[in-house]
Structure 1
Amino acid sequence: MAAFRRMQRHLRGEAERADFLIDLSNIVRERTLGGPTARSLERLRLVLRALRAWTGDQEVTVHAIADNSLLRPQFDGEFPDPAEGALLREWRDRELIAAIDKADPDLLDHAKVLGTPVISGDSFKGHRGVHPWIQGDREHFLKPERPAGGPVRLVPRDMRVLADQEVSRERERDGLKARNLLDFRGRARADVLERSWRCPRPACFPSPAIRGGKVVCRAHGTLLTDGGPRRPRLQLKILIDGECRAWENLTQDEGTEFALGRRHLARIAPEHLDEKRRSRISREHLLIVCRRGTLRVLDTSRVRSRMRTLRPGAAPTPWRDLPHLEGPLATPTAERPFCAFGPDDEIELVPGVVLRRSGQRWPGERPEGVRAKPPRRSGDGDEMTSLG
């Protein structure tokens, strides 16, 4: 334990005083860095040694942030020596490290505000909607690696530009993991997610979670009642100048038409969507319908909208006009010139206002209506608001 205690000289409890940020849970749990156990402080010692070699600074400092789960005493048996878990709690109590429910948001906030590099093996895919600066970044992330038989080393990372669909899927996966809705193979618990659940609390549209083997309301902790099969839903994202500001959950009922228009942008703040652009969006701007498992769309606006395709690894296609309904909305469905709205497509309602399909497979069970963007740290949209 003496070698681990000597690491204290590198630890700083305030991010502003540190040269680097460390994703402590990620490092301590990364088996490829050495050792057969699920957790090990030896991995942190090796990373700090690699950092000294990489910087040439023997007194380099770090601000380490852990998830609370790393420090829970019931998991001390996963360390080679249970005293390692006790040492982490001592460091937390002495404010040498930080421990919070979810470390990633604070880690990335510090990196963004302070410009401090992050040491982690995580790609932070699910956080790129909130932190678009990660996309393509080559300056702020270092990954610890250990080639076969060699020492641990730090490698600068190219974070790559990920497709919007992949970011949405990873964000949803992070939310499912937080709710214990992934099985032992890391797959979504379809047996729970394909059911509709009712909370005993009035006006609650519950976000189900597994606790103690029971399905409970994540917000209230109350046992949920199975309401039968869940109607399939699909999520649409409304982006203003490249940032998601609201979304819409559609029930994928065969042949049911949904009119999206100005009222669905009502809760987007004026500083994000000015009145000039807002007024150009028609009350019934697009008509959307699900047919044979595919989404189809028709422009019913007065300004004409357009679409393009964004395929991973390829340049966007040229913009193309959406088919437009020239006659009244009462035109028979069979005569309406719908076109496909695929997972890689985006629709520009007016300049700077774009509609995309989310990559989420299990969007939250909510009534129809506008979905205001949730607080920064909401993993699954618990605080989405409905149209008043």
Structure 2
Amino acid sequence: MYWRQTLLSSLFAVVVGYLVSTQQGNLFVGIGSGVAVYIALRVMIATFFRTRYWLSRGGHKSQSRSCPNCGQYIRRQSGNWILRCKRCGWTAGFPILRWFYHSVPVVQFRRSLGGKRLLLLVLGLVLMVSAPTMGTFNFDTDLGGPTDTDGDGSTDEVDLGGPTDTDGDGLTDEVESTGNVDGYPLPEADQDHKDLYIRVYVGNGIEPLTDQEKADLREIWADMPVSNQNDAEGIDLHITQVQLSQTITAKLSNESLRDQEEQIYKQRVPETAQCSVYAVVLVDATGDPVISGRGASPGYVSIVDGHATQRYNTEYTVRTTIITHELLHNVVGRFEDGSYHTSEGWLTRTPGEHGTQFYMSDKTASHLSENGFSESEYFENEVCG
């Protein structure tokens, strides 16, 4: 879907740019026109698909609020174009004007336009307006023949790089198109949408994740505002749970768990799936103070207190929130400013405190949208190599 949208927009942009360049006799006017057309088409297409996607799904839990009229806790429901209270009928915004600010298409248009696309659109328009002063473009320019930089009698080779990972989830397009990595199955893999495959190892004496906890985890990750090449947001979480016959104890307050992480990962995760599949280990946590979880940042292992099944007046169990927190450490690693945590959202140091941080911060969403999942040189070279 994504490459078709890109190809269609690119073709229109090239045609418009060429026609404008030939008619105006100015290369820069043509480039500006092409950039403006490309961005406009991409935004229109992205807005259409995002609107269709989010109209059917309803709003984020992080966007919920109390009704100012009756106090009912509400969020936009599937099929609603605008946030509306079912109890009293209150609707967000002013009549008529609400359609230009609060409606799903307008919200998705703003998100589709974004900072980078808006900047490129402005750049294209600036070129169109100011380019006539930059001179003309001569189509009779001699472009020369093939280049042979090294003088070996052959034209310069093009470096095509390594395997392609379109969606940035650490799984190559080839792996996701075949649905397995060296024979290890990756069901429902999508090369245009980020997939996160985890194996949850349950130590002896620990209650396995319930169906509700697994459903909560899938919903949490699906609701994350992380962009994908198919213009749908979220990360698809795929869970495999394995019951162990032995007890696993971990002192999570240690400064480093690298040796234990490596031992657990190499011993538990099938060799063919290593550095493609993430391990979440539910353990008996010890230490003073007792810490609920630790995760490699970045890496492929999260160690979580398996007994933390309490809810504390929130909709998620503690271990559900800790698994989400530690898995984000795995895939985010370190931010550009060198930090591992954020001031809000799932990656705060206390995401479950009073149930106030159950959402993805803009900082985390932007990092994952732009960079994809972080690779771990340690795991790639020392553990999986």
TM-score in terms of structure 2 length? 0.21
Q: What TM-score comes out, normalization by structure 1 length?
A: 0.21
The structure in which a higher percent of residues are helix is 2
1 or 2, which has the higher strand percentage? 1
